[in-house]
């Protein structure tokens, strides 16, 4: 962890990683919950219109609920993320939100570990 991240990513969030899909396209479930270090901004409800293929077809619209800043490099679209710590095995029961997009930023100062913005939506 870079020294900048060490003082800025002091909050905790819980992530459930998607395990993939079966041959019919149904989800195989989610990993056990993991706690990551982050910072976050919640409750924005910002709209993003089809600017990224990872968000679906062009012209689609996604409402962003929370933005998490972290060095967590393994988060992916379809995972679930919750502000705080949870041991609940089902992300829906825990109240987690689906990851809609992950944006990578360079570690400008130390080049130790890149930073990520993880956007969740409803």
Q: Which residues contact 85 (CB under 8 A, 6 or more apart)?
A: 12, 14, 35
* Element spanning 89, H or E: none
- The region of weakest confidence among 31-40, 57-66, 106-115 is 57-66
Q: How far apart are CA 16 and CA 36, in angstroms?
A: 11
What average pLDDT does the chain have? 86
State the residue for tokens 């041959």: 23
- The region of weakest confidence among 32-36, 48-52, 93-97, 109-113 is 48-52
Q: How far apart are CA 68 and CA 13, in angstroms?
A: 9
Q: What sign does the dihedral 83-84-88-94 (CA atoms) show? A: negative
- Which carries the bigger pLDDT value, residue 47 or residue 110? 110
Domains parsed from the chain with CATH numbers? 3-121 (2.40.10)
Identify the CA nearest to 94 among candidates 73, 74, 79. Answer: 79
The 10s digit of each residue's pLDDT in 65-88 is 999 999 999 999 999 999 999 999
The 10s digit of each residue's pLDDT in 39-66 is 999 865 555 555 454 555 555 566 789 9
**Model's pTM, two decimal places?**
0.81
């Amino acid at each position: 962890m870079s020294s900048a991240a060490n003082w800025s990513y002091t909050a905790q969030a819980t992530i459930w990683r998607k395990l993939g899909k079966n041959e019919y396209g149904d989800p195989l479930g989610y990993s056990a919950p993991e706690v990551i270090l982050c910072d976050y901004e919640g409750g924005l409800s910002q709209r993003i219109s089809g600017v990224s293929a990872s968000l679906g077809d062009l012209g689609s619209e996604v409402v962003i609920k929370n933005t998490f800043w972290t060095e967590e490099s393994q988060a992916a679209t379809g995972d679930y993320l919750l502000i705080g710590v949870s041991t609940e095995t089902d992300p829906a029961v825990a109240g987690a939100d689906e990851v809609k997009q992950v944006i990578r930023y360079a570690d400008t100062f130390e080049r130790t570990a890149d930073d990520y913005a993880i956007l969740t939506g409803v």
